[in-house]
Structure formats: C-alpha cells, structure tokens
A and B are shown apart, each in its own frame.
Chain A
Amino acid sequence: MTKKSKGGKEDKKAIETKSKSVSGKSQKQKKPVEKEVEKEVKEEEELIQESGTDSDYDGDSLSGSLNSDDFNSDIFESEDDVTQGGTEEEDGGDGESSQDELLVHEGSIDNEDGDDGSEQIDSDNNEEEDGSDEGSDRDEAVEESDSSEDEVAPRNTVGDVPLKWYEDEKHIGYDITGKKITKKERQDKLDSFLASMDDSKNWRKIIDDYNDEEVELTKEESKMVRRLLKGKAPHADFDPYADYVDWFKWTDAIHPLSSAPEPKRRFIPSIWEAKKVVKLVRGIRMGLIKVAKPEEEPEEGPVPYLLWEPASTSDQKNKNLTYIPPPKLKLPGHEESYNPSLEYIPTEEEKASYELMFEEDRPKLIPTRFTSLRSIPAYGNALKESFERCLDLYLCPRIRKKRINIDPESLKPKLPSRKDLRPYPNSCYLEYKGHTGAVTSISTDSSGQWIASGSTDGSVRIWEVETGRCLKVWQFDEAIKFVAWNPLSSLPVLAIAMGRDLFFLNTELGNDEEQEVIKEMFHSGNIPEPEASVAAIVTWLQDELYGGIKIRHFKNISSIDWHRKGDYLSTVMASGETRGVVLHQLSKKKTQRLPFKIRGLPVCTLFHPSLSYIFVATRKDVRVYNLLKTGLATKKLETGMREISSMAIHPGGDNLIVGSKEGKMCWFDMDLSSKPYKTLKNHPKDITNVAVHRSYPLFASCSEDSTAYVFHGKVYNDLNQNPLIVPLEILRGHSIKGGVLDCKFHPRQPWLFTAGADSIIKLYCH
C-alpha cells in the first residue's frame, strides 16, 4: 500500500462516515453509547440545518437523514458492507491506522466541523508520512550532484573536435593565448607495466585524451562503472521501482492564494509602440492614412431568424466553390393542411382520374381532411421514401455536372409545316412492271407523257406514264447503264449507254415531220471522218439492229448528260486528263474533247441549265468549267465527301445538289460559297442518285437503302435570302434488296419516279 492510496482512502472514509451518520458506530459500541450518539446525530442535523446548504454534500446528508425508517435500514445495511470492506482492506496495514480512523471520526464529530477537522487530520497524516520517507530525500541529493557535475567548467581546450585530427601532432589544442598545448609524453608500455606493478591502484588510472591528463578513478566511480557494465543504474541507491508519488493535492482548496488581477502599475509601456502610435496619429492628422468609417453596427437586440430566407446566399456560395444549392421546394399551401377547406378536397371523379394517370403524373399529395391532429395517420410512404433518399445519397454522383439548360425544342430549326409545302410526292399509285433485272436508269421525256428505263437485263423500255403500259422494248446484249431522253420535245431521241457503247435510238414517238428529221439524221449514211484528236477515243458507227447510231468508246461509259439544246451530249469515262469527258454532237456526228484538263477521274458531268458551263464531278469535288474558254476551272466546289455519286442542278443554275456514296447530300449555293450550304446526312447507305424538279421547289435523293427522300428546296430570287430546305417525305416501297437505283421527277407534275433493283419502277404522286 502506498501512502497516497492510504491517504485517499482515508479521505473517502472520512466523507463516508460523515455522510452515513454515526449509526455505524452504534453497532460497535455499547447500547449506553447509542443514546449519546443519537443525540449527537440530532445535534448534527440541527447544525446542518442552521448552517444551511453549505455544499451539495450537505444537502444530500440532510435528505438522507430526514428519510423514513426503511431508508434508514438501507443505510445500515450498506454501512455494514462498508465497514467490513474497510476492515478487510486494512488487514494488510497497521492496525493503528484503523484506530486512528475511528478516532478521527469521533474527533470530527467532536469537532463539530466535519470538513475542516478531517482535512486538518489528513494533512497531518500526510506530513507525518512524508517525513518518515527518507529515501526520497536521498534521491534529490543524487540529482543535485549530477547537475553540479555539468556545471564544472570544461578544461578542454581542444574543443569538440575529433581527436583524430591531433593524432599525428605534437600538440593538442591551444591555450587562451593561442599557444599550442604540447602533448605530454606518454609512458611506454614497459613503464606503465612497471607502474602497475608498483602501484596497486594503477589499474584505476585512465588517460583522458581530451585534457591530456591521467585520471584516477575513485572507489565510487569504479563501482559505478562496474554497475554500468552490469547494465544496472549507476548509483546503487537508485530504486527503479520506487513508489509513485502523487504530488497533487486532491482535496479542493476553497480559497486560492490570490485571484487579484495583475495591477496596472506593473505595466511597462513600450517606447517603440508609443513612437508608432505617435507616427500613426500624425499620419491620420496629416491625412496620409485614411481610416475607414466605422461600419454601422447592427442594432442591438435579438436578430430575427429568417425562416424563409433563400437558402443559397452569396456568402454560402463563396465558402465552397462546389456548393450545390438544395432544390427549392414549393411553400406549403392550404391544401397541405391537415384540415383544408372543402374546395381543396378532390371529388370522387377527380380521385378516380388520378388513378388512371401514370404514376409519375399523379399528384404527390391528395388533400384529405382530418378532424384533429391526433387522427392523422402515420405517413404511409415514410419507409419507402427514406429508403429512396438513402439510395439517392448512396448513388449521388460526387461530380458536379455542368449542364446547360436549353429547351431542345428551341434547337430545332424553325421549319414550315409539311402541309404548307404541298404538293409533293408521297404515295405510290402506279407501278411499271416488265423488266426482269434491276432497273438502273430512268428518264422522262420533256412532255411527261413517256418514261424510258434501262435495266440490267439488257432491255430498254418506254412506258406510258398515265397507264403504266409498256410501249416499246429494245433488247440489247449488255446491261444498260444509262438512258437519257433528249431534252428537246421535237427530237424524241433516246441516248443509251451500255458498256463501252453509246446508242442513239429513234423512239418513233414524234409526229411525221419530226420522224423524218430523225431518220434523215440517222440514215444519211455519211459519218464524217473523226478528227485525229478523238480517233483513238471514239468511233461512230451505224447500228444495224435498231437503225440508230452507235458510238464506241475506248472505255466503259459511266455517265451521260444531254445539253439543254439537245444537240450535244457528254459522256464520262473513267480516265484522266482530257480523255475522261468527251462531247458528242448529234447533228454533225462529231466528237470533241473538252478544251481543258480535268484533275482526277471524272465521275459525272452536268451542263449548266442556261449558261455554257459544265460541272465535272471527280471523286472528291466538283469543278465548274467554262466551255467557251480553255483553261482552269472557274470554280471549285469542295464537298468534303469521300466519293461523289451523282449531281443535279437547280433549274436556276445557282444551286447544285451532290450526292455521295456515304449517304450524304450537299446543297451548294454557288453565290454563297464554294463550301456546301447544307449537308444532309439522311441515308445509311450509298446515295445512288439525286434529282431536282424543273418547276416545283422539290428535290429528291434515292439510295441503296431502298428509300427515297423528298425535300422541299426553295430558292428565293432575293439574294439575301438563303435557300429553304425542308425534308418532306421518306418514300419506301421498293424491296430491301438492292435499293433504289435511280429517281427522276416528272417534268410537269410533282411526281417522282423511282427505279428499284427489284425491277419495278414506281410513281409517287402527291
């Protein structure tokens, strides 16, 4: 048992005994004492009552003592335990102390001032016990000696440097005057041995290299060394397991020594601060330092809490850059009252209509009336909603998503309604059936009464548009690549391209005079000698089979186009330079090359509808050449497409439509730019052909995905107004396989002919 624990226990004991009154003693002492004790207790109670509630502790005792009988009995029982425990504890200690305790208790009662008395005794006890402990004093002495050793002035003159530096020198360090301190002569081994023989204490001598002297260890020091070598504490009397000394006094001191504040007289003003103040004052007076006006202090008094203040104030935002304001809730209205007025209550029909609504559209709260707050049932969705809330928090993205709030409707271009753009082809009523292979090309005659078609089965047919009757069939050996009707109504001649041959066929549809003109042209017999420049490219021949003219080219023909005057025809072959495109003149049966070089392989050509220009499309771009001038292209149109497949020109001549094999279609406004005015990506597969209507503001594209798209494309006379392009209709109907290979508009009606790989030609009417 340590002193401290003892003392502490005693304190506790003192308190306990006090609280539990003296009744405990009644058991130990004899009955005659009891009465006295009772008297004392009463006195004590009185005392306490008189002194009032000095402390919490007193109050407790008061209440305890005033308790009823059963409560007293409780105390007795508990006291028995305590006393027993106490005796047990004190078994190991001296028996006197317990007696002392008892004495103390009595004394305290006698003293009539429990608190003070016990404290005094406690302190006495402590003092006694402190005095009895001598070991602690000795410890202090040891500590002092240690510190004194430190204070001895170092005699070392070398300084804290490695001695190695002086190893080979004759001196070691310097004295105060700067002279070298010479090393002492060391004893040689023999001398030292002899010395050790002579002197029994010689083994204690140690050479101190730093100070260059011999030190003899004292007895204590050698002992210390020995202890250190053993791994013990150097001092024999050091107790590593000393009892813990609790220096703190656990009892409350009521009165502090002094709580007076530091008196002002002890304040020593700083000169420098005073100077600084003077300087500032001078600065303010001179106006060099501007003092901000003191802010108006907010009015005193309770600041109201703004309940409906907007949650996201600026300072809140500034605090945290990624502050996300909570969603604003609608303020509760009358309908959310527990007892709303009748007009908020939905009728039965309304409730029934809510049931029919979708879950999301249904109102969240249906106002209901309750007679009192007590009758409001528990919120039915509480569990579900808290679960969802947890789910929200759990799944809440930690990244702030920058989102621009744009109404998607506003991004849509403002287009006129399709209804206002009528007429346009939309439904198929007529089909022209008869071909046995894919229909590769169609062409309408200028009046719109007939349509010619060429197919891979080698047949060219002429159909009556009105009834769908096949009027004429010409059968060839090769698959037909291209058919084109002469644009002149007075010259009903059909140009047909297949393989390397180009045929001019008499359709025999014109009146008698026209027929004679054609026959004259075809059968005059004398085909003039071709010019040397084109002799290698083409040969004009008389066709025996159908009485037409055949022109054999040196390469396969990919495209043909009639000039608007119906005399010239351009054919395109996959060849570069000047040989890719040649012009045939029907009336003179002559062929000529274009007077300029073409860069790249031409894909198709197109004559300008009113001027002497020709559009030549290569794989990537379109060039415009002036037919009357030799030289470079007057304009180059950059399509930005991979592979051009077809071209069509607006009858005005300023707008060109280009279709590509990647399903894109470009509208060029040549007044605007050499870049496309609009690029439409509409087909998932290759665009096979594009067409523009001669009189209606319509254009169309057809594709291998077996659809044809019809667009409204209005060109304004006003140069400031850009063309208006509106998609109108997707025409389906051809079988999926192979797609639509050609489309042509009826020259006068807003109708579209489409030629399918399913060997059917369809007419879409408005």
Chain B
Amino acid sequence: MDVDGEDVSRRLHVKFVTKLDSPFKVPVNSVAIPSNVTRLGLSSIVNSIIQSDNPEWKTEPFDFLIDGELIRMSLEEFLLAKGISAERTLEIEYIRAVTPRKEEEPSLHDDWVSAVNGSSPRFILTGCYDGLGRVWSSAGSCSHILEGHSGAISSVAVVNSKDAETVTVATASKDRTLRLFKFDADESVDSSTRVTAYKILRGHKASVQSVSAQKSGDMVCSSSWDCTINLWNTNQSTSEGESVPLKKRKGNNQADESQSEGEAVTTLVGHTQCVSSVVWPEHDVIYSASWDHSVRRWDVETGKDSLNLFCGKALNTIDVGGEGSALIAAGGSDPILRVWDPRKPGTSAPVFQFSSHSSWISACKWHRSSWYHLLSASYDGKIMLWDLRTAWPLSIIETHNDKVLSADWWKGENVISGGADSNLRISSGIAIS
C-alpha cells in the first residue's frame, strides 16, 4: 500500500519563500511534499512549519505563487499546465490569503445604501436613497449626517481630507444637483451632527449618477443622465463671483449657514447616453463609463476625449488603477468584469475578463496600493475579490442578502459595501501585502 501511495503521489522538493515579516517566515529549507496537494494542503504545511517554531501560532490561511501565478488547482496539475519541471527544487512564494477574516456588525440605514466611499482612512462616507449622506467613523457609529438633497444620493466622493481640521465631501443626487459639505472628522461621536451643504452645484438636466474629485481637491467632476460630464470648482467663494450668495434655508432655524450655488466650469460632451460613472485619477485626466457602451478618457485641459473604448454593454462603473495606475476596470449590464490596458497598442479588447458573477456589476474598485487586487460588487449580492494573477475570485463576500449597490476598500484591508438591504457592511482583516 505504501509503495502504491508513493507512486500515485510523487514527491516534490519545494522551498517556501516569502516577503512577509518575521512571524510568517519559515526556514528556507527544501521540503519534500506530495505532488497532489492543493492550496489548502500547502497552507497547512506552512502553518505546521511555523507552528513547530512558534507554539503560540494561530493558523493563518496562505496563498501560494509559482512564478507569479496563484495556485488554484493541485500542484501537480499546475506544474503540468504551466510546463514547469518537477525535477528541480520548486520555489513557492506564499502570501497571506486575501480573504476577509472578520465581519463587522452592519450599520443600518433608513433606505438603500447607494454609495460608499472609503478613500479617507478616518471615516466611511455613505450615500443613501433617503437623500442623506452619512459619515461613519467606524462600524455602527455615525458621526455626521449630510442633509439637503431632495432626491436619492447616487454617488459620494471625498474631495479633500488632507486638512486635519475639516473635510470636504461631495454628494451627487438624483435631484439633479451636487452638494459640497464641510465637517470636522475628528468630532466626538456621541450623537450624529447634521451638516448642510456649503455649496450646491446645479447645472445637470437629469439625475447625477457619479461624482469624483480631483486629487488636489480643487475640482470635482460629475456625470449625469443628460449624457454630460460637468466639472465644478469646490472652493467656497470663487474669484469671479459666480456663486449666488446667502440663501436662507426656509423653515430651519437651526443652521443659518450660508449656501452658495456653483455652476459648471466645463462640460464634457461626447457620450450619447447616460454617463454612469466617472473617475478622476490624475490631475487632468478623467475616465468615464456610459450606457452608450463606451469608456472614454477625457483631457481636462482641452475637454476632448483622447481614448474611446467600445465595450458592447451598458456600463455602470469604472475604476482606474493597477499597474502604473493605468488599467481600466469596468462593469455593467452583464456579469463580466472587464479590465483594459489602454497602453496596449492596436487593440481595444479587454486584457482580463472575470466572469464569476451572475448578475449586473454595480461597482468595481482597485486596491489603492496593490497592483493586482480589485473588488467587484454585483446585483447577485456578492462582492468578489480578484487578483489579476488568477481567473478565479480570491474570495467571495456574501454578507448582503440583496443587491449590492456600491463597494470600496477602506484603510487597505477592509471592504465596505452598501446595498439594497439598507446596510453598510465592513469585512475586515484582508491582508494585502
């Protein structure tokens, strides 16, 4: 029996290496392991090696890479598929598995959570169908409520969080306006303070679908159902005196804050249907996705589109990131998440296609520091974490029991998401090196 067992699973000599720090390190010795182990087997081997050195070690899931590719089948099959010789000692790099280890308690909203933003490490910004924006300092503790919209909020963006004192955020709503809010993020969180907008941006003729801020925080751009992208100034009082000063809010004696109204600085026209999503990753480059099945890159200086990718499906969401912050990920009216590389000449075909979802994709976000990781949220209620190095999702988060409308990374190792179950959910402990 033993002899047979040996024959069936050949032994491979492997060496485990890692870029992780000391508690995760294993001695760089060649180990003989059976060739039919999968990721789980490798993970338990590494765990047992670490445990032999450190008795207080708690089991930790690992992911394994050979020549920069994640192992998603048995080691033997992987080597066969990649044509790697099993004779020499294999070097297997291991990383901590990208999967949430902890689920924070949900933060209940009054209505569907249509937008979440985790670009500031200090708070989470959410937009809700009841027309209120909310600021959460942590799970379950709402510090500010941003009020003023008469329609559902469709998108939120953090404009400027560099200042220690006040933070500027922008909200886009289906009432055809955007509002800019300023609040102190470090305020005590005993009770949520209500904040009204210091500036209302009017100009869109239809529902505003998406808002995104320039890195510097001077401008925001917004996209709308009227097929346009508008650029707005964010500062309180413009030099040209565009703003209409001092409008008293009727019937509200609590806050007599002045509200100014802003008009669009520039309008980018080109899309033929609803522009569903915009991102402003660089100083003068805006990417937009539209229901007219196209992804465009706009030059802010000239107001012209410098890139036009045809997708074939109505798109709901776009994000730019990855290697060199140049890859475009977009999802829309089909279950496929597509990633384009605009630097690739001569082709407009997506370089990656991830198709594990079963319904429309509502959100996709690149990890802010990793080149490989991105998340996608879908109407099938799932959030999936992807690594460009494998076609399978790294992890599937199924905490929502209805459509997920928005999702984002927060503080590098959390996934925040809002959906039609009116909850903001935070999945934490995702180790991305």
Nearest CB of chain A from residue B374's CB, rounded to whole Å: 21
Known: A469-B129, A765-B333, A766-B313. A748 touches B360 (CB 8 A): no
Contact yes or no, B360 A449, CB < 8 A: no
Count chain A CB atoms within 10 A of each CB in B291, B362, B403, B405 and give the residue with the most.
B291
Q: Which of B129, B313, B316 is close to A466, meaning CB atoms less than 8 Å apart?
A: B316
Verify A749–B314 contact, CB threshold 8 A: yes
State whether the Cβ of B206 lies closer than 8 Å to any Cβ in chain A.
Answer: yes
A467 interface hit (Cβ, 8 Å): yes
In the complex, B140 has a CB within 8 A of chain A = no
> Which B residues are CB-close (under 8 A) to A429?
333-335, 359-360, 379
The answer to whether A449 touches B207, judged by C-beta atoms less than 8 angstroms apart, is: yes
- B274-A449 in contact (CB<8A): yes
Nearest A-chain residue to B332, judged by Cβ: A765
Whether A468 lies near B403 (C-beta < 8 A) is yes
Docked CA distance A542–B205 (Å): 30
Most central of B225, B274, B314, B379 by chain A CB within 10 Å:
B314
Shortest distance between the CB of B362 and any CB in chain A (Å): 8
- Assembled-state Cα–Cα distance A472/B135 (Å): 27
Docked CA distance A430–B378 (Å): 11
Q: Is there a chain B Cβ closer than 8 Å to A530's Cβ?
A: no
Q: B273 in the interface, Cβ–Cβ < 8 Å? A: yes
Smallest CB separation, A764 vs chain B (Å): 11
Min CB distance, B44 to chain A, in Å? 39
* Residues in chain A near residue B205, CB distance under 8 A: 511
Say whether B405 contacts A447, CB under 8 Å. Answer: no
Interface check A423, CB cutoff 8 A = yes
Q: Give A466 to B315 CA distance when docked, in angstroms.
A: 11
- B98 interface contact, C-beta 8 A: no
B420 within 8 Å of A by Cβ? yes
A64-101 toward B: CB 8 Å interface, digit per residue (1/0)?
00000000000000000000000000000000000000
| B-contact bits for A726-766, CB 8 A (1 contact / 0 none) | 00000000000000000000001101000000000000011
Q: How far is the CA of A268 from the CA of B314 in the complex (A)?
A: 116
CB distance from B366 to the nearest CB of A (A): 23
Which residues of chain A are near B291, meaning CB under 8 Å?
A: 448, 748-749
Asked if B312 is at the interface (CB within 8 A of a chain A CB), the reply is yes
Contact A447–B274 (Cβ < 8 Å) = yes
Say yes or no for B149: interface residue by CB 8 A criterion: no
Q: Does B176 contact A (CB under 8 A)?
A: yes
Question: What CA separation (Å) do A49 and B420 show in the bound complex?
Answer: 133
B386 within 8 Å of A (CB atoms): no
Say whether B183 faces chain A, with CB atoms less than 8 Å apart.
no
Contact in complex: B360, A430 (CB < 8 Å)? yes
Nearest opposing residue in chain A for B405, CB measure: A467
Chain B, interface size: which category?
20 to 34
Which among A423, A467, A749, A766 is the interface contact of B403 at CB below 8 angstroms?
A467
Q: Which residues of A contact B232 (CB under 8 A)?
A: none
Is A748 a contact of B273 with CB atoms below 8 Å?
Answer: yes
Are A430 and B314 within 8 A (Cβ)? no
Q: Which of B314-336 contact A (CB under 8 A)?
A: 314, 316, 333-335
User: Is A469 within 8 A of B206, CB to CB?
Assistant: no
A748 to B293, CA, bound (A): 11
Binary contact track B364-401/A, C-beta < 8 Å → 1, others 0: 00000000000000010000000000000000000000
Per the bound structure, the CA–CA distance linking A467 and B205 in Å amounts to 20
Beta-carbon contacts of A471-512 to B below 8 Å, as 1s and 0s? 000000000000000000000000000000000000000010
Chain A residues within an 8 Å CB radius of B314: 749, 765
Question: CB-defined interface of B187-209 with A at 8 Å, one 1/0 digit per residue?
Answer: 00000000000000000011100
Residues of A contacting B312 in the complex (Cβ-Cβ under 8 angstroms)? 423
A511 near B176 (CB under 8 angstroms)?
A: yes
| CB of A211, distance to nearest CB on chain B (Å) | 129
Chain B residues with CB under 8 Å of A751's CB are: 333
Interface positions, chain A 447-475, Cβ under 8 Å from B, are 447-449, 466-469
Q: Which residues of A contact B112 (CB under 8 A)?
A: 467, 469
- How far apart are the CA atoms of A751 and B292 in the complex, in Å? 13
| Docked pose: A434 CA to B334 CA in angstroms | 23
**B363 shortest CB reach to chain A, Å:** 12
Interface residues of A in 402-429 (CB under 8 A from B): 423, 429
Of listed A423, A449, A467, A469, residue having the most chain B CB within 10 A = A467
* Bound Cα distance from A468 to B420, whole angstroms: 10
Encode contact with B along A506-524: 1 for CB under 8 Å, 0 otherwise: 0000010000000000000
- Min CB–CB distance B177 → chain A (angstroms): 10
A447 partner residues in chain B, CB cutoff 8 A: 206, 225, 274
In the complex, how many angstroms separate the beta carbon of A614 from the nearest chain B beta carbon? 31
Nearest chain B CB to A360 CB, angstrom units: 40
Provide the residues of chain A in CB contact with B359, threshold 8 Å. Answer: 429-430
B225, A449: Cβ atoms under 8 Å?
Answer: yes
CA distance A469 to B225 in the complex (A): 17
* Least distance between B309 CB and chain A CB atoms (Å): 17
Instruction: Give the shortest distance, in Å, between A279 (CB) and chain B (any CB).
Output: 99
Residues of A within 8 A of B313 (CB): 765-766
CA distance A468 to B205 in the complex (A): 22
Chain A residues within 8 Å of B206, by CB: 447, 449, 511
B340-373 vs A, CB cutoff 8 Å, 1 = contact: the mask equals: 0000000000000000000110100000000000
From residue A491, how far is it (CB to closest CB) to chain B in Å?
14
CA distance A468 to B359 in the complex (A): 13
Cβ-defined contact, A749 with B333, below 8 A? yes
Residues of B contacting A449 with CB < 8 Å?
206-207, 225, 274
CA A318 to CA B334, docked complex, whole Å: 70
Give Cα distance in the complex from A467 to B291, angstroms. Answer: 14
CB neighbours (8 Å) of A467 from chain B are 112, 114, 362, 403, 405, 420
- A462 CB to nearest B CB, Å: 12
Q: Shortest CB–CB separation between residue A349 and chain B, in angstroms?
A: 26
Q: Shortest Cβ distance from B410 into chain A, in angstroms?
A: 23
Chain A residue nearest to B227 (CB atoms) is A447
Q: A447 to B275, alpha carbons, bound, how many Å?
A: 12
CA distance A467 to B153 in the complex (A): 13
Encode B99-133 as 1/0 by CB contact (under 8 A) with A: 00000000000001010000000000000010000
Nearest neighbor of A748 in chain B, beta-carbon distance? B273
A448 and B274 alpha carbons, distance in the complex (Å): 9
CA gap between A765 and B335 in the complex, in Å? 11
Query: What residues of chain A lie closer than 8 Å to B316, measured between beta carbons?
Result: 466
CA distance A468 to B129 in the complex (A): 13
Chain B residues positioned under 8 Å from A766 (CB to CB)? 313, 333-334
- In the assembled complex, the CB of A733 is this many whole angstroms from the nearest CB of chain B, namely 14
CA A231 to CA B333, docked complex, whole Å:
122
B403 CB contacts on chain A under 8 angstroms: 467-468
Alpha-carbon gap, A411 to B4, bound state (A):
62
Residue ID in chain A nearest B334 by CB atoms:
A765
- CA–CA, A429 and B129, complex, Å: 22
> Which residues does chain B contribute within 8 Å of A511, judged by CB atoms?
176, 205-206
Residues on A with C-beta less than 8 A from B292 are: 748
A447, closest chain B residue (CB): B225
Q: Are A430 and B379 in contact (CB under 8 A)?
A: yes
Q: Convert B147-176 into 0s and 1s, putting 1 for each residue whose CB lies closer than 8 angstroms to a CB of A.
A: 000001000000000000000000000001
B159 → A minimal CB distance (Å): 25
> Whole-angstrom distance from the CB of A508 to the nearest CB of chain B?
10
Q: How far is the CA of A469 from the CA of B359 in the complex (A)?
A: 16
A469 / chain B contacts, CB cutoff of 8 Å: 112, 129, 152, 420
Neighbouring A residues of B335 by C-beta, 8 Å: 429
Instruction: Report the bound CA distance from A467 to B129 in whole Å.
Output: 11
* Chain B 257-276 near chain A by CB (<8 Å), digits 1 or 0: 00000000000000001101
CB contacts (< 8 Å) of A468 on chain B: these are 379, 403
Given contacts A467-B403, A748-B291, 11 further A-B contacts (CB under 8 A): A423-B312, A448-B274, A448-B291, A467-B112, A469-B129, A511-B176, A511-B205, A748-B273, A765-B333, A766-B313, A766-B333
Q: List 5 A-B contacts (CB under 8 A).
A: A429-B379, A466-B316, A751-B333, A765-B313, A766-B333
10 closest A-B pairs by beta carbon, nearest first, are A429-B359, A765-B333, A429-B360, A449-B225, A749-B314, A748-B273, A511-B176, A511-B205, A447-B225, A469-B112
